[in-house]
Structure 1
Amino acid sequence: MKKTLLALLLLISSCAFAQNVKFNHPYENISIAKGSDLVLKLKLEKGTNYQFLVLQQGIDIMLVLTDETKKILLEKDSPNGSHGLEIADFSPQVSKEYTLTIKQFEEEGNANKGIVSYYIKKYTKAELALKEKTKQELAIENNKNVLTADIDHFWEAMDNLKNCQTKWDSILSFQNLYLDRATNGLIDFIRVRNFAAEDFVRTIAKYPKYYNSVRPYTYESKKAEPLIEEVFAKLQSIYGNFKPFKVCFAIGVHRTGGTVSDRFVLLGTEMITTGKNVDYSELGENWAPKDRTKEPDIPLRIKGMIAHECVHTQQKEKLAEKAVVCNQLYSCLREGIANFIGELITGETNYSVVNEYGDKNEKALWTEFKSTLCAPSAQKWLYNGDSAKDRPADLGYYMGYKIAKAYYNNATDKAQAIKDIIDMDDPLTFLQKSGYDQQKKQ
């Protein structure tokens, strides 16, 4: 009897029960001790859509939905660790009581006590109608080579903030009006860069002037579609192994201008479509371009960026089997090759500042670069806008560009050279064949 009572007490202590959960109502800052779960009893109706949103605040959890027989109907765990939203949608086939368990992972990294906030959304008929309309629109949009619908969805979510009275209202605005309506491209963007609705709420609260001022420029990206098609055609004409891909213009949380997935070039439109009237005061003037007297040709700028990024979609993901691992050189070659081939395609480069500095200091830069040629990372040469001092950031783009250009110029068969450059998977052998180091010794 004592053992049974003890077991019952242990079971009760390991779970925190929240009865009579209200839909469309925020439950904030619920404390969960290590080893405990939060168990919610929900009366769900057949034919109605529900969305479960749980904000992890220093605790890694998963969502488990079961019926009265303890049959698992849904499990959800996103790769976002102990912070961020866990989100799951569910439409019951039968009206009855269900159990949603906010289950804490038993792992060393989890805190002794964590905090979660949750919101159980019950969709209205109007919201369901919007979901169905969006589904039909996305079917059309996802068939295009260049996707821009996410831009419109983002600004709809942004405009809706004026109707939001709580943090959860704002989170739901971006979740339901933007992320839940994601094109296939934005779905990849979310996976590759791991951002969620609360990231938008936080970032826009921090940079409202920037986002509001960049808005008219983001629409300029829609004018770039014919130029992007030109890039596709040109790359296909000079590279026989061309693998088709698509382009998605989305809006992020100001940390990615461009990246790729296995099927898309993904562009952070809020970063690549800036003009002279953008307000950088919240970001710091280091983010502002040096020349702000003229409006840039945004479609042309995008053409150059696409030419660069589309080369990345064609490059090999792994080194050759017998290649020597040389991370600094390899990383800079990949970026520099994308710049060089992009320049062949468009006749222009988006890295004029880097190239101008590089041309003036090329020999010294090569001596410095060569001294750490196979360093474990290229952190001193790439993606170092926050740490570069007294010279431009990303000079590794320039070094890789010059090596690729030397390879091309020294080749007698230019068509084969383009293939070799894009297919580069042995950085030290490529450097040797380029003749670049020998040129710098002269």
Structure 2
Amino acid sequence: MVMGGKRFLAGAAAALLILGGGAGVAAQDLVIETGDVDRFFALYEATEGRPSAEQLQAYLDGGSAGLKYLAQARNVTGARMAEANTARPELYAEARTCAAALPRVRARTMEAMARFAEQYPEADFPAATLVIGRGKPVAVGSPVTGIQIGLEALCATRFINPDMEDRFYRVLIHEFAHTQQAPELTEKEDFTVLEVSMAEGVAEFVTELMTGAPAYAYLEPQTRGRELEIETAFMADLDKTDLTAWVYNSTPEKPGDLGYWVGYRIAKAYYRKAPDKREALRRLLQATDVKAVLADSGWRPGMDLS
């Protein structure tokens, strides 16, 4: 979703640490920090799974820059975390199970980043920070603020992809794609439906290009056979600034975010049509005029992209 020194961190969550140099991933090491997860579970165990709002607020206040950014940007407070723990105790109890998938996630992420760097040599990957929050958001990626991933949220959102390893790996690649996009687009105060859908859709297309499938696997079966209907409705809304019908509206009971899927299909149509694939990838990532990309893509509602 839109919107320093190397660190080696010990502890149960630290299975995924540093995707180091090699294979031409980037000039510097690609770092994934897990210290906030270790700190949270130390508190969680010390309080027998019932940390107070005050203790959780101290966890947030003493956290990494990534955790502090996520807390401020997504209204994560100690009180809200305590409420989440009372309402959904399994959210935190099950979060540690994700750690078992992290070594393989690490290897697959490094492979995908090497492929990405080959196709987009100017790639420059910021650190990603794994944190524990209040059950949402799953992830935030930006070229300005880097990547923050809520481990407990990603563990719980099985509807994205029931395979934990695939879910984690592809969401991580999706967020890394966001960090390569133009800040003039990703950091806008007011998106149009087309702008936010293209920002998310390009990240989905890059994920598919590097891993063989988009991150948000539930979208394809949800949209199959409805392409013309959905995309005709999208065309009527593309200049609107009310985003609620198209993005950031998924729940476990009713998955949504159809704008991700439409933006992905536009990006895919553009890439397929372009004779120079490296230049096409560069333009998709650096685009600020998304209407121009749409016009050049040849995409139309209901287009067959199979």
Specify the alignment match of 2:28 in structure 1.
none
2:126 to 229, 236, 245: 245
Partner of 1:231: 112
Match of 1:344 in 2: 209
Specify the code of the residue in structure 1 equivalent to 2:109: I
Structure 2 residue 166 is the aligned partner of structure 1 residue 300: yes
> Could you list the per-position Cα deviations for residues 22-61 of structure 1 after superposition, in whole angstroms to 9, with x for gaps in the alignment?
xxxxxxxxxxxxxxxxxxxxxxxxxxxxxxxxxxxxxxxx
What does residue 222 of structure 1 align with? Answer: 102
Alignment correspondent of 1:155: 41
Contact 2:7 2:33 in 1 (8 A): no
CA distance in 1, matches of 2:191, 2:7: 44
Structure 2 gap ranges (5+): 1-5, 11-16, 19-30
Q: Aligned equivalents of 2:237 and 2:159: distance in 1?
A: 30
User: Residue 86 of structure 1 aligns with which residue?
Assistant: none
Tell me which protein shows more strand as a share of its residues: 1
- Aligned in 2, Cα 1:207/1:439: closer, same or farther, shift over 3 Å? closer
Of 311, 315, 319, 2:181 maps to: 315
The secondary structure found in structure 1 opposite 2:224 is helix
Report how many residues are paired. Answer: 276
Conserved? CA contact 2:37–2:130, under 8 Å:
yes
1:178-217 equivalences in 2 (<5 Å): 178-212=59-93, 214-217=94-97
Asked if 1:266 is matched to 2:148, the reply is yes
Q: Shift of residue 349 of structure 1? A: 2.2
Q: Label 1:410 to 1:198 Cα distance change in 2 as closer, same or farther (>3 A).
A: same
Pairwise mapping of residues 398-437 of structure 1 onto structure 2 (< 5 A)?
398-437=261-300
Change (3 A) 1:231 1:200: same
Query: Which residue of structure 2 aligns with residue 358 of structure 1?
Result: 223
Work out the CA distance in 2 between the residues paired with 1:220 and 1:253.
21
- Report deviation, 1:187: 3.1
CA deviation after TM superposition for structure 1 residue 399, in Å: 0.6
Return the letter of the residue paired with 2:248.
Answer: Y
Decide which structure has greater helix share: 2
Determine if the alignment matches structure 1 residue 335 to structure 2 residue 200. Answer: yes
CA distance in 1, matches of 2:73, 2:253: 26
Question: Structure 1 residues 155, 394: CA separation in 2 closer, same or farther (over 3 Å shift)?
Answer: same
**Structure 1 pair 414/184, CA: closer, same or farther in 2 (3 Å)?**
same
Aligned to 1:396: 259
Distance in 2 between residues matched to 1:259 and 1:437, nearest whole Å: 30
* CA displacement at 1:247 relative to structure 2: 1.5
| C-alpha distance in 1 between matches for 2:302 and 2:271 | 14
Q: 2: distance between equivalents of 1:438 and 1:304?
A: 26
2: CA distance, partners of 1:288 / 1:299: 11
Over the aligned positions, Cα root-mean-square deviation in angstroms equals 3.1
Q: Return the alpha-carbon distance in structure 2 between the equivalents of residues 412 and 163 of structure 1.
A: 56
Q: TM-score, normalised by structure 1?
A: 0.56
Identity of aligned residues (%): 26
What TM-score, normalized by structure 2, do the two folds share?
0.79
Unmatched 5+ residue regions in structure 1?
A: 1-137, 275-286, 320-324
Cα deviation for residue 245 of structure 1 reads: 1.0
The CA distance in 2 between the partners of 1:388 and 1:171, in whole Å, is: 28
Q: Distance in 2 between matches of 1:425 and 1:433?
A: 14
Change in CA separation of 1:377 and 1:232 when aligned onto 2, cut-off 3 Å: same
- Match of residue 384 from structure 1: 249
Name the SS of the counterpart of 1:360 in structure 2: coil
AA aligned to 1:436 is W
Q: Is the 8 A contact 1:190 1:196 kept in 2?
A: yes
Are the counterparts in 2 of residues 326 and 373 from structure 1 also a CA contact under 8 Å?
no
Alpha-carbon offset, residue 149 of structure 1: 2.2
Name the structure 2 match of 1:82.
none
